Amino acid sequence: MDHVDFVTQQWERERPDLDVTAMGIIGRVARLYLAYQREMHKTFAEFGLNAAKFDVLATLRRSGAPYVLSPGNLLKATMVASGTMTNRLDRLEADGLVKREVNPEDSRSFLVGLTDAGFALIERAVSAHVQTQARLLAGLSGQEVEMLKMLLSKAQAAADSG
């Protein structure tokens, strides 16, 4: 019996009229998220990064060569507010990991790109990140991973529509 079982059993005892099945599932998903985040943050820290910096560098890297995006496209890809993005970019630029350049197609705007140091860092960090994530799922069989992917996708779609 884990903590989620403990909580749901208390509710079942105190309020047998309630079906707390969803509470148990959502409680486990929340606890799992926190456990995964804890491990991933350790990996980011090994590279002097936090989740926010990793997110920007990874977004630029996965955009493909030349690893440059407009701030608008960077915002869409990371889903953060513009003020938050400005702060992230300021810190990454101070660290020498990204550069801002005037957009050659519109001199009123700029583009954000990885520096050579930023590219080298995200290459190492994303490799370690993927290894951490694989380790976190190592207790599941291949079939279980596929089933979990399908069920989580279905649950996400239901949550998004509801």
Together in a domain, 136 and 80: yes
Which residue is listed with tokens 């989740």? 51
What is the domain extent for residue 133? 47-161
pLDDT of amino acid 162: 76
- For position 139, what pLDDT does the model report? 96
Residues 9 and 61 in one domain: no
34 lies in the same domain as 62: no
Predicted local confidence at residue 1, as pLDDT: 85
Q: Domain count for the chain, please give it.
A: 2
Shared domain check, 101 and 67: yes
For the entire predicted model, the pTM comes to 0.88
Do 18 and 64 belong together in one domain? no
Q: Looking at the structure, do residues 54 and 76 belong to the same domain, yes or no?
A: yes
| CATH code at position 144 | 1.10.10.10
pLDDT (mean) for 126-145: 97
Helix, strand, or coil here: 115? coil
Q: In the chain, where do the E strands start and end?
A: 68-69, 98-103, 106-114
